[in-house]
Structure 1
C-alpha cells in the first residue's frame, strides 16, 4: 500500500510532540522564525528533539534567515531537514550540507514547473498557499488542480489542511506528504491531540481507498 507521509509543523511543546509521535507522524516541524506565533527557541527545540524516538524526522523551518543564524541552530539542534519558506536562492538552500525542502507559494502568476526546476538540489518541494506578506501558516488552501501530477522530487502539500479535508487532498493531489499546522491546533502553537489523531487516521483511510 502506498502511504502518504504526515508532517506536523509548529511544535512548541513536548506534550504536543509526544502526541504527534504517538499518532504516527513521520516528521515534526520546528519554526525558527521569530515573527511566527509558532516560534520556538533553538534551546527549547533541542530539548524536545532529545526526547523524540528514532525514525521521526526533525525539520527546522526558516524564513530569509542569515546564514549564520541557520548554522547556529544546526549547532544546537540535530535537524534532519531544513525547510526554507522565504525568498532563499537554490545556492543558499544548498549551502548548509543538510538536506532541504523548499516551499513555493502558489501565486496566481507563478510557473510551478519552472519554480520546482530551479530547486533541483532540494530533497522535497512544498507547495503552499500564497498570501501577501505571510510566508506560511495562512490556514488557507490553494486550487489543488494546480498541483503537478508527477515530478522527480517528493512533492509536499500544505495550506488549509485539516482532518476534514485530508482525504480529499490525497485523492486530488496524490502528494508524497501532507504538512499540517493550524488545522490540528487548539490555538497557534498549541496542538490538539485529538485533531492530530483524526488527521492521521483520515490520511490512512484515504491511502487505503487509493489502493
Structure 2
C-alpha cells in the first residue's frame, strides 16, 4: 500500500497562518529557535503563544543549542518534537533523549552536500548511530545557514542507503519536483516545506500550500 507522505510546514511565525494550516490538517508545524535565522520564532511569538497552539505535531528546530535551553523551551512551548539541525554529537543526542520527556520525539537532520564519497560516508555514519535515541531522520540540503535554502539536493543519493527509520524529505521541495519523489526506493514518511512557499521569510503563501497539498495527494 502506497501511503501518502505527511506534511510539515517549517519556519512559521504568524498565528493566523498557523491556524489556517491546522484547519488544513497539516501534520507538523515547524518553529525555528535558531537566533541567526530570519525565521527565528521568538522575534514574533512568545513561548506562551506557542504553548497555546493546540496541535499534536509542534516541532522546535534547534542548531547547536545547549541541552538545558532545549529542555526549557520544549517544556514552556509544549513542543512535541525536537529537531536537531546542527552538528550535534551522538553523546549529545543520547543525553538529550535521557533528559527529554519520553513522549517528545527527536528528529535528527542529515545535511546532504555533494554526491561524493566523503558525503556518502558521513550519511552512512549518521544512519548507523543513535537509532534508539532518534525518532525520525530528516534529509535537507547542506548550507552554512543550516537550511532554508530552497535548493534541492540530489535525491538519488538516498537510493544508495537503507534508511533504518522513517524520514522527512526537505530541501527545495515544490510543485515542479514533487513527481520525482516516486523515484525514491524508500519513500519519505513526511515532506518538509519552507522557503519555497513564502512571500518573505516567515510569511507563508497559504494558498500555494493548499494547492501543493492537493497536488501531492494526487501524486502519491
Scaled by the length of structure 1, the TM-score of the pair is: 0.88
* Deviation at residue 163 of structure 1 after TM alignment: 2.9
Scaled by the length of structure 2, the TM-score of the pair is: 0.85
Q: Are 1:103 and 1:125, in contact at CA under 8 Å, matched by a contact in 2? A: yes
Q: Distance in 1 between matches of 2:77 and 2:51?
A: 8
Q: Which residue of 2 aligns with 1:81?
A: 81
1:4-32 CA distance string (max 9 Å, x none):
01100011011111122222311000000
Q: 2:110 aligns with which of 104, 108, 114?
A: 104
Q: Which residue of 2 aligns with 1:47?
A: 49
Deviation above 3 Å: which 4+ runs of structure 1?
A: none
* Deviation at residue 162 of structure 1 after TM alignment: 1.8
Which sections of structure 2, spanning at least 5 residues, go unmatched?
none
Q: Which residue of 1 aligns with 2:68?
A: 68
Q: 1:113 aligns with which of 106, 124, 128?
A: 124
- The answer as to 2:206 corresponding to 1:193 is yes
Q: Are 1:59 and 1:79, in contact at CA under 8 Å, matched by a contact in 2? A: yes
Residues 184/167 of structure 1: CA separation in 2 closer, same or farther (3 Å cut): same
Q: Are 1:124 and 1:155, in contact at CA under 8 Å, matched by a contact in 2? A: yes
Q: Distance in 2 between matches of 1:104 and 1:86?
A: 9
Q: Distance in 2 between matches of 1:114 and 1:78?
A: 32
Q: Distance in 2 between matches of 1:92 and 1:203?
A: 36
Q: Which residue of 2 aligns with 1:57?
A: 57
Which sections of structure 1, spanning at least 5 residues, go unmatched?
none
Q: Distance in 2 between matches of 1:10 and 1:119?
A: 26
Q: Which residue of 1 aligns with 2:19?
A: 18
1:166-199 CA distance string (max 9 Å, x none):
232x212321111111111111100111111012
Q: Are 1:23 and 1:200, in contact at CA under 8 Å, matched by a contact in 2? A: no
* Deviation at residue 48 of structure 1 after TM alignment: 4.0
Q: Distance in 2 between matches of 1:48 and 1:195?
A: 24
1:90-142 CA distance string (max 9 Å, x none):
231232423201101112322222221123121011111112x2211111010
Q: Report the number of matched residues.
A: 203
Q: Are 1:9 and 1:180, in contact at CA under 8 Å, matched by a contact in 2? A: yes
Residues 6/49 of structure 1: CA separation in 2 closer, same or farther (3 Å cut): farther
- The answer as to 2:154 corresponding to 1:143 is yes
Q: Distance in 1 between matches of 2:81 and 2:113?
A: 25
Task: State the Cα RMSD in Å.
Answer: 1.9
Q: Are 1:23 and 1:196, in contact at CA under 8 Å, matched by a contact in 2? A: no
